[in-house]
């Protein structure tokens, strides 16, 4: 029996226009620290001189905005249907990165008329020139919405923890992506590991299982250890890499950023390509 997401996923194209690196960060289940990784990775990349934006696609939750202590006044919906400019919907955060709040605008992408699509294209070209990285913070799980954002991005990072439920749900997500050939390479970050050995065992467990049953290659991007500073930073709505740059979590985050930067092998997808796929996927 066909999955209800069969046609949806089969519409994905493998390549598109060049531009910013659009990287979807996702997970099989909620509560694994996905958004915290996105926010701190964005800050770390920005600290190195890269121009970074977060596209908060965890619709209705706005977790990235909460972690940064900001409230965007406008969303993508306001750009599409309320006449706001791209500059107006970009929300500046204290660490020097920008946030694009998804709002509900993505649902209407497939129904845009010709003039609206042209306007969106011009706006996305502008964003491509302004950013080197766009980190897409998706929801968790395998809903059509989450799969759409993951499928549209050129690169994907799956966040897991050593908990069995996290591994099981992450495998389910990777299985769907592999089945429909959405991504043949998936980067993995292990979060909340007690130490490097536990992180390695967790990654190897996932790699072994996927290697036996799925046609997908996992890439070990690194791990973040259990660190009380991370909890304190969340409570204070600050990125932990800014609040405590010398802690183990911050040092490991820097290593993850290094691997992400050095791992680029192809021309980036670009925001135009990303949203172009979304318009087809949600049509």
**236-250 confidence digits (pLDDT tens):** 989 999 999 999 999
The 10s digit of each residue's pLDDT in 141-161 is 998 888 988 998 989 999 999
Q: For the purposes of burial, counting CB atoms within 10 Å of the CB of 217, is it exposed (0-12), middle (13-18) or buried (19 or more)?
A: middle
The rounded distance, in Å, linking the Cα atoms of 83 and 77 is: 9
Domain 22-281 has CATH 3.60.15.10: no
Q: What angle do CA 258, 148, 55 make, to 5 degrees?
A: 50
More confident residue, 109 or 119: 119
Q: In the prediction, which pLDDT does 14 show?
A: 40
Kindly report the average pLDDT of the chain as a whole number.
Answer: 86
């Amino acid at each position: 029996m066909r999955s209800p997401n069969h046609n949806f996923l089969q519409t994905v194209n493998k390549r598109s226009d060049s531009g910013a690196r659009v990287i979807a960060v996702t997970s099989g289940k909620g509560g694994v620290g996905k958004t915290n990784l996105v926010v701190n990775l964005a800050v770390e990349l920005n600290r190195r001189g890269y121009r970074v934006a977060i596209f908060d696609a965890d619709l209705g939750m706005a977790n990235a905005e909460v972690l940064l202590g900001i409230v965007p006044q406008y969303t993508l919906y306001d750009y599409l249907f309320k006449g706001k400019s791209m500059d107006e919907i970009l929300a500046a955060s204290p660490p020097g990165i920008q946030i694009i709040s998804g709002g509900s605008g993505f649902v209407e992408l497939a129904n845009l008329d010709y003039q609206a699509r042209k306007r969106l294209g011009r706006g996305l070209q502008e964003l491509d020139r302004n950013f080197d990285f766009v980190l897409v913070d998706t929801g968790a799980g395998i809903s059509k919405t989450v799969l759409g954002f993951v499928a549209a991005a050129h690169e994907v990072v799956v966040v897991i923890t050593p908990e069995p439920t996290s591994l099981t749900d992450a495998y389910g997500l990777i299985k769907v992506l592999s089945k429909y050939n959405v991504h043949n390479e998936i980067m993995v970050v292990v979060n909340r590991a007690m130490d490097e050995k536990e992180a390695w065992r967790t990654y190897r467990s996932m790699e072994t299982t996927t290697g036996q049953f799925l046609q997908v290659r996992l890439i070990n991007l690194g791990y973040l250890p259990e660190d009380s500073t991370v909890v304190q930073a969340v409570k204070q709505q600050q990125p932990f890499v800014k609040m405590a740059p010398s802690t183990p979590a911050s040092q490991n985050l820097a290593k993850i950023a290094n691997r992400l930067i050095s791992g680029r092998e192809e021309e980036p997808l670009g925001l135009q390509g990303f949203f172009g796929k979304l318009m087809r996927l949600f049509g």
